[in-house]
Structure 1
Amino acid sequence: MIKMFETIAAISTPIGEGGIGIVRISGDESFDILEKIFKPKSKKNVKDLKHNSVNYGHIYDENEIVDEVLVMVMKAPKSYTKEDVIEINCHGGYLITEKILEIVLKNGAKLADAGEFTRRAFLNGRIDLTQAEAVIDLIKSKSEKNLTLSVEQLRGDLKEKVGELKKKLLDVAAHVNVVIDYPEEGIDEPLPKELWGNLEEVHSECDILIKSYDKGKKIKEGIKTSIIGRPNVGKSSILNSLLKEERAIVTHIPGTTRDSIEEIININGISLILVDTAGIRKTEDIVENIGVEKSKTKIKESDLVLFVLDNSEELTKEDYDIYKYIDDKKCLGIINKIDKSKKIDISKLDKINNWIEISAINGLNIDKLEESIYKFILEDDIKNSSEKLILTNIRHKSSLEKVKDSIDNIFNTLNMEMPMDLIAIDLREALDSLSEITGEISSEDLLDHVFKNFCVGK
């Protein structure tokens, strides 16, 4: 275990009023510091407190009682950081937690940097880098699916997969090294069939994981969904119905929405970043025209487009103009206002294959709309996300792309009957790229990049 010479401390609960506040300490001097500031009600010596125990007592600043607390004791190496860890559970509130942290720092601890507790967990070998990254994803999860993927990664699923890929490449590397180092053995076959198969399997599995990143990114960041249509077809009413609150202004006057309104909703465990755009039409209103141009941009940027039409009116030139912007692969058609007499004919809008009829103002079929949204873009892509490994981190994707490139080079070398030394070089690069994922090979810059997104205290 790597020894960290400075003992660190930080507040691990959010700033503000709350039931409790937690000040966390980690390092070799944790018990020395605690002994100076904490008196257990049991009157036990602080250094005799049992591992994984909760101890009632008081925090003192010299001879003055500061707060009544519960102190959790976790002794190395059975702690989050694999160091001695103390967690002081005090009364919640900005002043009291800051006061206790100040006392801890005054008695020998250093204020922790962002993510420093988790960084120590990584450096001390408790977790690998993929699991460290899963911690921040877990904290920032905005949907049930993202939470599931983060838990799987924290559990070590990606670490295990990387280990399997490395073993297959190491088997190939062992054979290649024998061929290079012992030419007198007269091995005629550069790479036996089963080892060629190893390379193909690693290449294929890397490819599958790389392709899963787009799904993973959607799960992690949410599905960008734009509601588009000409003015007054009911886009804002649909937004309000999905949100189940009056977020957007709804009137009979065309052009009420001048700018994009953005909200997040959750459908079957997936976050949708839902945007109610300004109605797309030709207008002399400068402000509204800016909103119209932004709407066109939103369409291009969206993962899903909800194209809204008015059931009670015939299709207009504006409807057809908007239709031209649509990519059918990411569009769900919505016919709104079915509580009114039908005048619309969508037979000519043949590039949209998925339609749902609703009345947003009355809440009719909104549940079916949610189901249609999920089935259209989410179910096929993400339904089985718990059944297979999915990447959510661009760093992991980049490393696997380098592995694939190295294996492509190896295939080219073998096919062209070039020197085996070249294969050894590419195998080493592939193995290094896999090691970068788990952090077995890492630089200070990489670690700084990973842990800078953590809060202080984690």
Structure 2
Amino acid sequence: MMYTDSIVALATPSGAGAISIIRVSGPDAIEIGASVFKSIKNKDLKQQKTHTLHLGHIIDEGKTLDEVLISIFKGPNSYTGENTIEISCHGSTYIQQQIIQLLLRKGCRMADAGEFTLRAFLNGKLDLSQAEAVADLISSDNEASHQIAMQQMRGGFSNEIARLREELLNFASLIELELDFAEEDVEFADRTQFHELLNRIEFVLKRLIDSFAVGNVIKNGIPVAIVGEPNVGKSTLLNALLNEERAIVSDIAGTTRDTIEDELVIGGIGFRFIDTAGIRETKDVVESIGIQKTFEKIEQAQVVLYLFESLKFKVSGSEYVTEIEKVKNKYPLKPVVIVINKSDLISSEETESLIVQLETLNLKQILISAKQKTGIDELKNTLLSFVNTGALRNNETIVTNTRHYDSLLKALDEIQKVKFGLESNLSSDLMALDIKEALYHFGLITGQVTNDELLGNIFANFCIGK
């Protein structure tokens, strides 16, 4: 796949703004830019050095469209590896369109989604995992996802995979050499060293695969379902967590007839809070639908906050214990946190009695007042404790991409086959086939093995202009 044309796209978000940037990349990018640009100092754009800025006007048949700054990046020292210019113009949508249409008439074509980054990959400026990290960086909306994307874009993940692949490739070459001299019964590959390498590769692959559980929740946010009886303060708690009036608060039971979702960043990690309709027996058809959705949201959530009022517990505590046990037993793998609201309305003796009754559930308990916003920080810290942030703090490689995860699983399977073959003294030709498969899956991650369909699927998810 080679590109010999020049492409253009708006690199900043569409719509009016103070400044917009229009990017052009391709062999004729600078020449096309020079044909529509008039420098205030009469400079010839084609003669200027790379990585320089130039002030002037975009001219269309004698008509001045805008005063602009043009940045020049000559290949291969540019993002795409090609000649590139970036036109910084005023952010009027009319000006944007007029300049883009002019560039199209001068020989550019509109860029496809992610085509600038695709060209960077094809020209060897980025490997495939780094290119995918660009999209993750653009979409990152919290500190943790930003940190992971930056680490991957700088090559942390791909470098680790590349080292493993290179070592395996070296042994694969020796195995292949043995096959060439099969009649002479010689061994070029040290079996002890090979076994050590396979153990090391297996260890690293398992660590990367395990990291996906953390990476996936960091990238997509951790869903937290807030459940409980109607009118116990779920909406008030959501508002307290978000520090804004997001959900409707009312004394009328069943006010929340549908789920309400919003996001909050705690300690750099994104959490998606889901305020659900209350769980109770009801003949109201609409409310029944909301209760059904509550159970659906619990299925999707990774953490469940079971909320109830301290005053109501005094009257029907055993019923609450039974309901919480139902949720706990129905979802045994999900962390369930008991959140006791309106704790400021009961005495310390009543609080102690309440805690004793709930201890049999062996679940974390937090006393709060959603209205007074007390206990909210403890709740946030508890939620954060459910996320394994150790790898993040230690700047370890964390896998967030499903495609990478799938390739790592398949590579591990092949490595374990090779390891079994080595320990079982299988012939070198059989091991060589499994080694090739492992190398293939390593190559899929970094783009050393690829095809047009794979690239199309990856870059179709990029924004235009990147």
1:364 equivalent in structure 2: 374
2:423 and 2:14 mapped to 1: Cα distance?
A: 62
Identical positions, percent: 39
Q: Residue 453 of structure 2 aligns to which amino acid in structure 1?
A: D
1:319 and 1:300 mapped to 2: Cα distance?
A: 21
Question: Are positions 1:256 and 2:261 aligned together?
Answer: no
1:405 equivalent in structure 2: 413
1:430 equivalent in structure 2: 438
Contact 1:281 1:318 in 2 (8 A): no
TM-score (normalised: structure 2): 0.94
2:27 and 2:272 mapped to 1: Cα distance?
A: 46
TM-score (normalised: structure 1): 0.95
**How many aligned residue pairs are there?**
454
Q: How does 1:142-221 map to 2 (within 5 A)?
A: 142-183=141-182, 186-187=185-186, 192-221=191-220
1:354 to 338, 342, 364: 364
2:354 to 336, 345, 354: 345
1:323 equivalent in structure 2: 325
Contact 1:228 1:308 in 2 (8 A): yes
Q: Residue 261 of structure 2 aligns to which amino acid in structure 1?
A: E
1:13 equivalent in structure 2: 12
Q: How does 1:199-348 map to 2 (within 5 A)?
A: 199-314=198-313, 315=317, 317=319, 320-326=322-328, 327=331, 329-342=334-347, 343=350, 345-346=354-355, 347-348=357-358
1:430 and 1:281 mapped to 2: Cα distance?
A: 53
Question: Are positions 1:382 and 2:384 aligned together?
Answer: no
Q: Residue 277 of structure 1 aligns to which amino acid in structure 2?
A: T
Q: State the 1:357 CA deviation.
A: 0.8
Contact 2:325 2:361 in 1 (8 A): no
2:95 equivalent in structure 1: 96
1:261 and 1:345 mapped to 2: Cα distance?
A: 30
Could you give the per-residue CA deviations for residues 290-319 of structure 1, whole angstroms, max 9, x where no partner exists? 010110111121111111121122225366
Q: Which moved more, 1:262-271 or 1:185-194?
A: 185-194
1:140 and 1:248 mapped to 2: Cα distance?
A: 26
2:361 and 2:321 mapped to 1: Cα distance?
A: 14
Could you give the per-residue CA deviations for residues 374-407 of structure 1, whole angstroms, max 9, x where no partner exists? 12x12xx124314211100011111111111111
1:450 equivalent in structure 2: 458
Q: 1:67 to 1:107 in 2, by over 3 A?
A: same
2:48 and 2:87 mapped to 1: Cα distance?
A: 14
1:317 and 1:353 mapped to 2: Cα distance?
A: 16
1:247 and 1:147 mapped to 2: Cα distance?
A: 26
Contact 2:171 2:189 in 1 (8 A): no
Q: 1:188 to 1:60 in 2, by over 3 A?
A: closer
1:48 and 1:75 mapped to 2: Cα distance?
A: 11
Q: State the 1:100 CA deviation.
A: 0.3
1:358 and 1:406 mapped to 2: Cα distance?
A: 52
Could you give the per-residue CA deviations for residues 93-114 of structure 1, whole angstroms, max 9, x where no partner exists? 2111111000011111111111
Q: Residue 448 of structure 2 aligns to which amino acid in structure 1?
A: E
SS at match of 2:263: strand
2:80 equivalent in structure 1: 81
- Which stretches in structure 1 are left out of the alignment for 5+ residues? none
Q: 1:386 to 1:447 in 2, by over 3 A?
A: farther
2:363 and 2:167 mapped to 1: Cα distance?
A: 45
SS at match of 1:89: strand
Contact 2:175 2:188 in 1 (8 A): no
Q: State the 1:189 CA deviation.
A: 9.4
Q: State the 1:417 CA deviation.
A: 2.9
1:105 and 1:115 mapped to 2: Cα distance?
A: 18
SS at match of 1:42: coil
Q: State the 1:256 CA deviation.
A: 1.4
Q: State the 1:168 CA deviation.
A: 2.5
Q: State the 1:186 CA deviation.
A: 3.7
Q: Residue 431 of structure 1 aligns to which amino acid in structure 2?
A: L
Q: Residue 169 of structure 2 aligns to which amino acid in structure 1?
A: L
- Which stretches in structure 2 are left out of the alignment for 5+ residues? none
2:47 and 2:440 mapped to 1: Cα distance?
A: 45
1:386 and 1:78 mapped to 2: Cα distance?
A: 33
